[in-house]
């Protein structure tokens, strides 16, 4: 009722709703509606490099191994060696070679990004079908494949955020004024 009254007012005096994008779009184009907070929450799942945004839950390498065999190995290989799709493990120490092998293990700077990526995008045919704890488990297994965490590891928000990835310090800031100057002495990971 109240919304209808606001819309009627908006139609009568469009200048009054200039600050309200969604109302304006509705009244001008008769398209769409404002997203609900539940819809926004479902999209708002990004995780920062420092781990901000990681959900509760935990998972072990052993649990991850079982999930991986069922839901990942067909595309990424039994041990993350790749084929038919990207390799997830291996290539450690090759980042500066002419034929570098860039995998999660050899190249990615943050383990937290691995969690974010798997949770939002994998398994490829069924994205966002894993529970938060299953994502911790399969992340632990993928990291274990590169020897970054031991066979006994159990990951949660705190322990995942503490992992230091092998290639972490080889990235440099892009010399754009909005994100800061290159760090002196840093070696670029990408030539
Ligand atoms: C049907 C095939 C398929 C399955 C199953 C699958 N993936 Fe993937 N995966 C892909 C493809 C294709 C890409 C590359 C996507 C792109 O670049 O946009 C990818 C990319 C990735 C990457 C990023 C690799 C990189 O270095 O860029 C990770 C990590 C990953 N998958 C993890 C998983 C995990 C964990 C599972 C199981 C839960 C899984 N995938 C299941 C096809 C698959």
Nearest Cα to 58, choosing from 161, 181, 155, 143?
155
Cα atoms in the 13 Å half-sphere on the side-chain side of 20: 17
84 preceded by cis ω (within 30°)? yes
Mean pLDDT over the full length of the chain:
85
Could you tell me which residue, 14 or 40, shows the higher pLDDT?
40
Crossing angle of helices 61-71 and 132-145, in 10° steps, is 90
Q: What is the CA(17)–ligand 1 centre distance, in A?
A: 44
| Closest CA relative to residue 73, chosen from 112, 135, 122 | 122
What is the value of pTM for the model shown? 0.81
pLDDT of the residue at 190? 52
Pocket test for ligand 1, best of 75, 78, 87, 88 (most atoms within 8 A of CB): 75
pLDDT band at residue 188, thresholds of 50, 70 and 90? low
Longest dimension (CA), the chain: 67
Quick one: pLDDT at residue 4? 47
Q: Is the pLDDT of residue 143 over 60?
A: yes
> Residue 13's pLDDT is what?
45
Tell which one of 122, 137, 138 to mutate to probe ligand 1, the residue whose CB is within 8 A of the most ligand atoms.
122
Domains and CATH numbers, the chain: 2-38 (no CATH), 58-170 (1.10.760.10)
Closest by CA to 167, choosing from 97, 81, 115, 94, is 94
Residue that wins the pLDDT comparison between 137 and 5: 137
User: How far is ligand 1, taken at its centre, from the CA of residue 117, in Å?
Assistant: 9
pLDDT at residue number 150: 98
Three-state DSSP class for 156? strand
Q: Specify the pLDDT at position 96.
A: 86
Ligand 1: atom nearest CA of 130 is 38
Residue where the block lists tokens 């993350």: 80
Ligand 1 touching residue 127 (CB < 6 A): no
Tell me which residue has its CA closest to atom 17 in ligand 1. 86
CB of 123 within 6 A of ligand 1: the answer is yes
In sequence order, the 6+-apart residues with CB closer than 8 A to the CB of 108 are 114, 165, 167
* Pocket of ligand 1 contains residue 28 by CB under 6 Å: no
Centre of ligand 1 from the C-alpha of residue 71, in Å: 10
Nearest to 71 by CA among 120, 118, 116, 140: 118
pLDDT of residue 60: 98
pLDDT tens-digit series, residues 100-128: 999 999 999 999 999 999 999 999 999 99
Please give the Cα distance from 59 to 57 (Å, whole number): 7
DSSP E strands in 91-160: the ranges are 154-156
């Amino acid at each position: 009722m109240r919304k209808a009254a606001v819309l009627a007012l908006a139609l009568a005096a469009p200048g009054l709703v200039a600050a309200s994008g969604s109302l304006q779009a509705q009244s001008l184009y008769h398209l769409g509606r404002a997203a609900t907070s539940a819809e926004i929450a479902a999209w708002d799942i990004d995780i920062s490099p420092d781990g901000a945004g990681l959900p509760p839950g935990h998972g072990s390498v052993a649990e991850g191994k079982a999930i991986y065999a069922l839901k990942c190995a067909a595309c990424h290989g039994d041990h993350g060696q790749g084929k038919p799709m990207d390799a997830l493990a291996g290539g450690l120490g090759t980042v500066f070679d002419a034929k570098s092998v860039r995998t999660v293990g050899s190249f990615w700077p943050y383990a937290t990004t691995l969690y974010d990526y798997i949770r939002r995008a994998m398994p490829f045919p069924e994205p966002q079908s894993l529970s938060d704890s299953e994502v911790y488990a399969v992340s632990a297994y993928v990291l274990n494949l590169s020897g970054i965490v031991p066979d006994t590891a159990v990951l949660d928000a705190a322990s995942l955020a503490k992992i230091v990835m092998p290639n972490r310090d080889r990235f440099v800031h892009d010399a754009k004024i909005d994100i800061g100057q290159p760090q002196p002495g840093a070696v670029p990971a990408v030539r």
